[in-house]
Chains A and B, each alone.
Chain A
Amino acid sequence: MTELIELSDKTITMDRNEYLKVKGSIDTNIYYVESGSLRVFVLDDYEEQTIRFGYKENLIVSLDAFLTNKPSVFFIQAIKKTVLKVITKQQFDIFLQTEANRVLWTKILENLILQQLEREIDILTNSPKERYQRVLKRSPQLFQEIPNRHIANYLRMSAETLSRLKKS
């Protein structure tokens, strides 16, 4: 991972609630979160639906735009003051010219597919309690880093339901 972060020659700082990216833009950068946290969401009929979070030491990227160079539907917003390192696609393409780096990238993508499968099961799980327990088990740190209302949205339940489940 350090090799990847070292590619960056640009750091950006965002205040709480600022948008890193909005719907419709073609943002092909990879961002490494040095500090702070962000959420990725889509607007479904003007209702926000959070689909992913990024916090300290995570990579965050609009993978659709990154892979296709086409406009992405995602919004990415800072949840609190956040410092990011920017890796451009051009920098990354040079990085990928080395065999060892391609192996690393494949590992990252494989890992991502596994995470997406877990997430797919989350969403298809009927019981709110089970959805909560799955995510708690998988990412306990999430509950330290991210405010409840955003986690509740991610889990597709009300903030009240989440706080009840946390107590039980």
Chain B
Amino acid sequence: MHKILNNMQSENLIQSLIEQSRQIINQVEKLKTNDLHFLTWRENPTAWCILECLEHLNLYGDFYLPQIENSIKNSKTKNEIEFKSGLLGNYFAKSMLPKAQLNKMKTFKDKNPLNANLGKTVIDKFIHQQIKLIDLLTQSRKVSLNKVKIQTSISSFIKIKLGDTFQFIINHNIRHLKQIESIQANRKNA
């Protein structure tokens, strides 16, 4: 399901990303039944707790979602049947997918929520952002996933295609939901 093809139909890509987002919402919705003690448990002092994983994703959402919204709104491009992943965008999106053994990645300082004193509202914010993301995915049907470019959080000079940006964001979500699963498993064994 998480296989990324370099060439695909725009509509198929949008459908598949909407479906993945639905599953992500459902997975996070289930977390709400846990108490704060569980949601803020960490394996060691430098490891993230569940809420920090979600807040990390929220920080990315805060960066990307308004930009995507404006880019779609201001774009004069037309939708295209084919989407061809860009070299850099494809690399970013793929690099986000978790490997069988969750590989460690470097977190940018401004996206690190460690010890940020978080509450359950973080979950609501995350779900709200996913609904927004789904709305933007449906809006993106009217524009070119190839020609609309989005600035990355690394540098405003590095831009990737809208289609790759969506894949990147959702793969990044999947990555940290896997991390949340492993936190839950470790907590049970602790």
Q: Which DSSP category, helix, strand, loop or mixed, fits chain B's interface?
A: helix
Contact call B15/A25, Cβ cutoff below 8 A = yes
A4 at the interface (CB under 8 A from B): no
Interface segment, B82-90, B129-137, B178-186?
A: B129-137
Residues in B whose Cβ lies below 8 Å from that of A22: 18, 21-22, 25, 131, 134
B170 at the interface (CB under 8 A from A): no
CB proximity to A under 8 Å, residues B10-46: 14-15, 18-19, 21-22, 25-26, 29-30, 32
- Which residue of A is nearest B139, CB measured? A24
Q: Mark A47-81, 1 if CB is under 8 A from B, else 0.
A: 00000000000000000000000010000000000
Q: In the assembly, what is the distance between CA of A43 and CA of B26, in Å?
A: 18
Contact call B30/A25, Cβ cutoff below 8 A = no
Q: What are 21 A-B contacts with C-beta separation under 8 Å? A: A14-B26, A15-B30, A18-B26, A18-B29, A18-B30, A19-B22, A19-B29, A22-B18, A22-B25, A22-B131, A23-B18, A23-B134, A24-B14, A24-B18, A24-B135, A25-B18, A25-B22, A26-B15, A43-B131, A43-B135, A71-B138
| A interface list, Cβ under 8 A from B | 14-15, 17-19, 21-26, 43, 46, 71
| B interface list, Cβ under 8 A from A | 14-15, 18-19, 21-22, 25-26, 29-30, 32, 131-132, 134-135, 137-138, 141
Given contacts A17-B32, A24-B134, A43-B135, 4 further A-B contacts (CB under 8 A): A17-B29, A25-B18, A25-B22, A26-B15
